[in-house]
A and B are shown apart, each in its own frame.
Chain A
Amino acid sequence: MSTTTSAGEHPPAPLDDETLVARARQGDVRAYEQLVLRYQGPMFRLASRMLASRSDAEDVVQEVFLTAWRRLGQLQEDAAFVGWLYRATTNRCLNHIRARRPVAEADYETTESPRAETRPEHAVQVSAQLEALEKALQQLTAEQRACWLLREAHGRSYDEIGRIVGTNSTAVRGRIARARAQLAEVMRPWR
């Protein structure tokens, strides 16, 4: 990592996404690295809650950013990059879940407490409420979970979520409403 800046210059202001995407599209690796630094966190959080596994989530995020780099040339608009990342991450997670064995009893143990399994040092710091929510999230269908997370944890619009999961915004609203009803049901004992 070199940090060469011309004398007397202020550190450059962070570039906007569109500029970075345009530069990365022409093969600028540093511009792309800025985009990775900017968006790996949200994509990782989406994937780790979809999959209830940190290591699977990191694999997905790695694949998403490598594929994005390869396909930058095909991206129609530079502004569409973030939406593309969300779509790619969501779809990879859904495919990953579909490829898993059907939930058998052996699997149930691992899905039951992903947090304790993967991050024992954090387990005690997490409130009972959050733990209940995370457990309940894994009981939703993968599509409901995707819609709910994209809306409530990532602030995406219904239209955008519809494009991400390949349906219309009415269906998205329906899935989120069902997810919310199911989650609220589980939250009851913790209030």
Chain B
Amino acid sequence: MAVNYELPCERDLEQVWERLDEVGAGRADEHELSCPHCRTARESLQALRAATDELVAEADQPSPDLVGKIMSAVRAEVRRGHMMRLPSPEPGVVEVSEQAVAVVLRFAADAVTGIRARRCRVRTVGIGDGGEAIVEVDLTLAVSLRNVTGSEALTEVRERVSAAAAARVGLRLERLNLIVDDVYEADG
């Protein structure tokens, strides 16, 4: 692992590299002025530096459609986080994103002891009379091992999440699918 590229004159290549500017600026020491090994090393390092500058300056660009490819892949994933219409007494449209709805619904579920909300998927399945989106929600949960009465907790989750969807967001929750995919040992 030792980094030691010693020249026949016992100076190290890294030393020559570090002194390249100094020597270039005319501040060479006596050894550097006279040593042929140091001079050869300097010339190689200068050639390397010049080629490196060229490599940096080349600024090779990717093909022009790369950004488009990346962004269409990104947008394809955004659609899962679509916008949902909320009821509005005014002429303008009010929309809320899936991510925002998910935050509120997860929070409602988290309030139940022994429940941790994980993923939350919201799909619009129709539009209600007030213009509000009618939604179907898949909520993935982890349940505490101590939660021996799991079904009661899930009933409470169902109540709280439905209430939050209507009261805090303004969506009509038509169907709530609760998926318990994990258990955890800690409290809370």
Contacts and interface: CB of A to CB of B under 8 A. Distances in A.
A152 B67 contact: no
Contact of B54 (A26, A127, A181): A127
Interface residues of B, number: 39
Interface residues of A, number: 44
Q: Is the interface of B mostly helix, strand, loop or mixed?
A: helix
Interface of B: 1, 3, 5, 13-14, 17, 40-41, 43-48, 50-52, 54-56, 58-63, 66-67, 69-71, 73-75, 77-78, 81, 97, 99
Contacts, number: 117
Interface of A: 26-27, 29, 32-33, 36-37, 40-41, 44-45, 48-49, 54, 57-58, 61-62, 65-66, 69-70, 127, 129-130, 132-134, 152-153, 171, 173-174, 177-178, 180-181, 183-185, 187-188, 190-191
Contacts of A187: 44-45, 47-48, 51
Contacts of A65: 70, 74
A41 B62 contact: yes
A29 B71 contact: yes
Candidate in A49, A185, A191 with the most chain B CB atoms within 10 angstroms: A191
A153 B13 contact: no
Nearest to A129: B51
B132 to A, nearest CB: 21
Contacts of A130: 51, 54-55, 58
A58 B63 contact: yes
A85 to B, nearest CB: 12
Contact of A37 (B3, B52, B58, B67): B67
Contact of B59 (A45, A62, A70, A174): A45
Contact of B43 (A33, A171, A185, A191): A191
